Amino acid sequence: MAIQDEIRKAREALKISPAELARRAGIQRSLIGKIERGDNFTIETLQKIVAQLPNLEVLHLGSQKIQLAGPPGELDSILAEHLEAATALAQASLTTQEAARALASASLASAKAIERLAATSERMLKMVAETRRATASVSENE
């Protein structure tokens, strides 16, 4: 069962409205609707809601099954692990973006160097052609 379904089922079993759950949790009513539709939510919001649903015994977060009736702090511990993993992923993403920017910058510098090399090569070819014409002209006059 998805987390939003678990929350909705626990709320309905207590016979409280989304507005009442929001009031008890100290959050905006619209957040309950968003969560129950499967939208994103913060860990802080989830903790506030779960604290108001004493009948919610199990919560599935990804592939993990969290026993809420178990030792205090288990939810906090598991959520902290997920937060650490998300933070590491975000940092890796930033590192990848920085590497991509550096590669793009190096590619641009290489392209400019190739343009300069091409222009220099073109000038040298013209000089070689002029030297050959001049040499040929001298040879004819001799």
In this structure, are 47 and 96 located in the same domain? no
- Asked which of 35, 54, 70 is the last residue of a domain, the reply is 70
Q: Render pLDDT for 19-58 as a digit per residue (tens, 0 to 9).
A: 999 999 999 999 999 889 988 888 788 888 888 888 887 7
- Asked which of 70, 94, 122 is the last residue of a domain, the reply is 70
User: In sequence order, what DSSP letters do the residues of 42-66 get, joined into one string?
Assistant: -HHHHHHHHHT-TT--EEEETTEEE
Residue 72 is predicted with a pLDDT of 53
**Is the dihedral angle over the CA atoms 111, 117, 121, 123 positive or is it negative?**
positive
Number of domains in the chain: 2
In this structure, are 66 and 100 located in the same domain? no
Q: Which residue range(s) make up the domain with 38? A: 1-70
Q: What is the pTM of this model?
A: 0.48
In this structure, are 12 and 49 located in the same domain? yes
Q: Render pLDDT for 50-87 as a digit per residue (tens, 0 to 9).
A: 888 888 877 776 776 666 655 555 666 666 676 777 77
- Asked which of 48, 70, 92 is the last residue of a domain, the reply is 70
